[in-house]
Amino acid sequence: MLTIQEISQHITNNMKTNSGVIKMRDIKFRAWDKKKKEFWHDFRISPFGHIEPATSSKNGLWIYDFKYNQKNVVLVQYTGLKDKNGKEIYEGDLVKWNGWSKKAQIDIFGKKRKHKISEVVWINKTGAWELKGNEDWNITVYDEIEIIGNIYKNPELIK
């Protein structure tokens, strides 16, 4: 079993830049348009909390649709992690995972893992990104995570 110090050291080592300074993760979002069935990457969140898509750019200034129906939009957050191919992992992504890291091969609860495809979710109780159905460990202990879709475009992958 890993000690708190070993876990802390692992996290700290993975957060350091080449200069040795601890780097905070990038805070990014994307928005899923339920009506058009596509992600937006160009949008803003208004002072009123509305998610407004960018409709066009004139002279380098974006024009936003402030009348867009908010019931059609789902905001998802970047985890700060990348899959084995360097692709950014977002909340709601479906990932295929091929096992545990070498330090975490033994499940302390004696459970045999059933899921090899899981949804990336935020768990408030633990304050960590985890794989739905495998909440005993946070997402950083898995090896070989690969994004294969997301719950919006590919819901059939988790049925």
CATH number for the domain including 51? 2.30.30.290
Assess whether pLDDT exceeds 80 at residue 39: yes
Question: In this structure, is residue 10 part of a structural domain?
Answer: no
CA gyration radius, the chain? 18
Q: Cα(82)–Cα(140) distance, rounded to whole angstroms?
A: 10
Contact residues for 159 (Cβ-Cβ < 8 A; gap 6+): none
The amino acid at 37: K
Look at the chain and report how many structural domains it folds into.
1
Q: In this predicted structure, which of 42-51, 86-95, 137-146, 147-156 has the lowest mean pLDDT?
A: 137-146
Most trustworthy range by pLDDT among 46-55, 57-66, 91-100: 46-55
Backbone angles phi, psi at 23, to 5 degrees: -105, 130
Average pLDDT over every residue of 100-110? 48
Assess whether pLDDT exceeds 80 at residue 44: yes
Question: In this structure, is residue 17 part of a structural domain?
Answer: no
The DSSP 8-state label assigned to residue 156 in this structure reads: G
Question: In this structure, is residue 2 part of a structural domain?
Answer: no
Question: In this structure, is residue 3 part of a structural domain?
Answer: no
Nearest to 138 by CA among 148, 146, 147, 127: 127
Question: In this structure, is residue 1 part of a structural domain?
Answer: no
Q: Cα(40)–Cα(32) distance, rounded to whole angstroms?
A: 6
Question: In this structure, is residue 136 part of a structural domain?
Answer: yes
Please state the pTM of the whole predicted model: 0.72
Q: What percent of the chain has pLDDT over 70?
A: 70
Tell me which residue range forms the domain holding 139.
28-158
